[in-house]
C-alpha cells in the first residue's frame, strides 16, 4: 500500500503479467537489458484459464491474439498501449481478463504520469473490490492533484472511504506475509496516512478546521515532519499561534530523510516567525524545542532510531527531489512543462555505459533548446562508485540519483530511457539498447514531444 505517512506496504506488490510482457517485448535490442530483479521474468500471453460458462476456446484464442497484438504494436509507447488495451476491452467487454487488462492500463497510466487516465481506470477497478485500500488511497491522491471543485469533491469522497477502511483495519485478519510484531505499526501507518491525505483535501478546499483535526489525528497516530509542518501552516490560517508553534517545533525536531537541509531551514524560519507573533524575541524558544524533543522521544522512540528512504510517500514524479553528484537537490517540479528525457542506469550494467555516451550525442543535438532536459538517473548505487565511474568515463550528461523514482516509474530492467511530455506523461519508453538505432530513434521521439509541446 502506498503510504503518505511512512511508505509501508500491507502486502507485497506483484508485477502484473501484462506489464512483464511489455518489458519482454521491449527488450528486442542487439544488447539485452540487465534485469534489476532477475527473478521477475516475462512470459508470453497464453490462453487464459476460462471459468465455467465463459467464452468458447476459439474466442479465448482470439482474445489472446488480440492482446499480443496490442503489446507488439506499442511496446515503446505507453499512451499507445493504453489505447490498444482500451480498444481490446471495447471489443471484449466480458473478457475473463478484464480485471487484469484494467490493472495493466492503470499501471501504465501511473508509470506514464497520466493522472486522469489512472483515476478513471482505478474507479473501474473498484468494482472488483470496493474496499481496496491501494485504490482508495491512489484515487485520493490522483483527484487531489486537480484544482477544480469536482476533483476535490471526489478526492474527499475517496479519502473518507480510505479513512473508514483504515479505522477498521485493526479488526481485520492480519495478512500472513506481515509479521505479528509489525502488524500494529502497519495499522498505525495506514491510519495516519488516511488522516493526512484527507487533511490535505480539506486544506485544498480551505476547510482549515477539518484539515487541522485530521492532521492532529495523523500526528497522534504516527508523526512525520511533513504532516507536522502542514498542521503548523493550517493552524496559522486559523489564528492559533500556539498550536502552530508546537507543530513547527515537531516538524523541526522529527528525523525525516524526506526533509533535506533546505527544507529544514524553511521550517526553522516558520517556527521563528510563529514564535515572534507571541514573543518580543526568540528567548525561550530553545527551551520549548528541547521540551518538545523530550516529549517526542518519550512518545515515539522508534521514530528517532530509523527512518524511511526519501520520497517513499510520493506518487507524482514531479514531487520528487533527486540528488546531484555534488549532493545538491534537484526538484523535478522545476522541470515541469518541459520535455524530460531520463536514462535510468547503473555502473554494473554494460549496455548502460554505452547508452550514456550515445545519450550525449542526442543531448548535443538539442543544445540550446531550453524546452528539453536530459538526465542520467542512477539507481541509487554507492556515491563513491558512481562518482568514480562518471569521472573516468567523462560523462557530460547531468547525473542524478533516483531516490526511489525508478520504482514509481516502473523501471524493472536497465538501461531504460523515458521521455515525459510537457504534461508529465511518459510518451516513450525503451528498455534495452540497440546501438545502431538508439540515437536516431531518440532524436525523433524528442522532436515529436517538442512539437506537441509547441502546439
348-353 mean pLDDT: 90
Domain end call among 242, 275, 308: 242
Q: Place 403 in a pLDDT band, splitting at 50, 70 and 90.
A: confident
Q: Report pLDDT digits (tens) over 185-233.
A: 889 999 999 999 999 999 999 999 999 999 999 999 999 999 999 999 9
Distance CA 282, CA 269 (A): 11
Q: Residue 361 has which C-alpha cell? A: 550525442
Domain end call among 242, 274, 305: 242
Q: Which domain holds residue 34?
A: 17-45+60-242
6-15, 237-246, 274-283: the lowest-pLDDT one: 6-15
Give the CATH number, domain containing residue 450. Answer: 3.40.30.10
Q: Report pLDDT digits (tens) over 196-208.
A: 999 999 999 999 9
The rounded radius of gyration (Å) of the Cα atoms in the chain is 24
Q: What is the pLDDT of residue 312?
A: 58
Q: What is the pLDDT of residue 313?
A: 62
Q: DSSP code of 416?
A: E
Helices (H), 73-97: 78-91
Kindly report the number of other CB atoms within 10 A of residue 328's CB atom: 12
Q: Rounded to 5 degrees, what are φ and ψ at 22? A: -55, -45
Give the CATH number, domain containing residue 96. Answer: 1.25.40.10
Count helices and strands in the chain by DSSP H and E runs: 17, 9
Q: 296 in a domain, yes or no?
A: no
What's this model's pTM, rounded to 2 decimal places?
0.61
Q: What is the pLDDT of residue 191?
A: 94
Helices (H), 311-422: 350-365, 383-393, 405-408
Q: 370 in a domain, yes or no?
A: yes
Task: Provide the number of structural domains found in the chain.
Answer: 2
Q: 190 in a domain, yes or no?
A: yes
Amino acid at each position: 500500500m502506498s503510504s503518505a505517512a511512512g511508505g509501508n506496504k500491507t502486502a507485497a506488490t506483484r508485477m502484473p503479467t501484462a506489464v512483464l510482457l511489455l518489458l519482454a517485448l521491449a527488450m528486442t535490442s542487439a544488447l539485452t537489458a540487465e534485469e534489476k530483479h532477475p527473478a521477475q521474468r516475462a512470459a508470453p500471453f497464453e490462453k487464459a484459464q476460462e471459468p465455467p460458462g465463459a467464452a468458447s476456446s476459439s474466442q479465448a484464442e482470439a482474445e489472446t491474439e488480440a492482446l499480443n497484438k496490442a503489446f507488439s504494436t506499442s511496446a515503446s509507447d505507453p499512451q499507445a498501449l493504453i489505447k490498444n488495451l482500451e480498444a481490446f476491452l471495447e471489443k471484449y467487454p466480458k473478457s475473463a481478463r478484464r480485471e487484469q487488462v484494467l490493472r495493466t492500463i492503470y499501471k501504465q497510466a501511473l508509470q506514464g504520469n497520466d493522472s486522469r487516465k489512472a483515476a478513471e481506470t482505478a474507479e473501474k477497478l473498484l468494482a472488483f473490490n470496493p474496499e481496496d485500500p491501494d485504490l482508495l488511497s491512489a484515487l485520493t491522491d490522483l483527484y487531489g492533484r486537480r484544482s477544480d471543485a469536482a476533483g476535490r469533491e471526489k478526492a474527499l469522497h475517496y479519502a473518507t472511504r480510505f479513512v473508514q477502511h483504515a479505522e477498521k483495519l485493526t479488526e481485520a485478519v492480519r495478512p500472513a506475509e506481515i509479521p505479528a510484531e509489525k502488524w500494529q505499526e502497519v495499522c498505525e501507518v495506514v491510519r495516519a496516512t488516511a488522516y493526512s491525505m484527507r487533511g490535505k483535501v480539506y486544506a485544498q478546499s480551505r476547510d482549515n478546521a477539518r484539515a487541522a483535526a485530521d492532521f492532529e489525528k495523523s500526528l497522534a497516530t504516527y508523526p512525520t515532519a511533513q504532516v507536522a509542518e502542514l498542521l503548523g501552516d493550517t493552524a496559522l490560517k486559523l489564528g492559533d499561534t500556539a498550536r502552530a508553534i508546537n507543530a513547527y517545533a515537531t516538524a523541526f525536531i522529527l528525523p525525516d530523510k524526506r526533509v533535506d537541509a533546505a527544507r529544514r531551514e524553511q521550517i526553522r524560519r516558520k517556527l521563528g516567525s510563529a514564535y515572534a507573533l507571541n514573543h518580543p524575541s526568540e528567548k525561550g524558544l530553545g527551551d520549548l524545542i528541547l521540551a518538545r524533543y523530550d516529549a517526542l522521544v518519550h512518545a515515539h522512540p522508534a521514530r528517532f532510531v530509523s527512518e524511511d528512504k526519501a520520497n517513499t510517500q510520493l506518487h507524482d514524479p514531479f514531487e520528487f527531489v533527486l540528488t546531484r553528484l555534488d549532493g545538491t537537490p534537484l526538484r523535478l517540479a522545476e522541470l515541469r512543462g518541459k520535455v524530460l528525457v531520463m536514462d535510468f542506469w547503473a555502473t554494473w550494467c554494460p549496455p548502460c555505459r554505452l547508452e550514456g555516451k550515445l545519450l550525449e550525442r542526442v543531448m548535443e543535438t538539442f543544445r540550446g533548446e531550453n524546452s528539453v532536459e536530459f538526465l542520467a538517473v542512477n539507481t541509487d548505487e554507492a556515491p563513491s562508485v558512481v562518482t568514480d565511474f562518471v569521472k573516468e568515463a567523462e560523462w557530460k550528461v547531468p547525473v542524478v540519483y533516483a531516490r526511489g523514482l525508478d520504482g514509481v516509474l516502473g523501471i524493472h530492467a536497465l538501461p531504460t530511457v523515458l521521455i515525459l511530455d510537457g504534461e508529465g506523461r511518459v510518451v516513450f519508453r525503451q528498455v534495452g539498447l540497440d546501438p545502431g538505432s538508439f540515437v536516431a530513434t531518440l532524436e525523433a521521439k524528442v522532436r515529436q514531444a517538442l512539437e506537441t509541446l509547441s502546439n
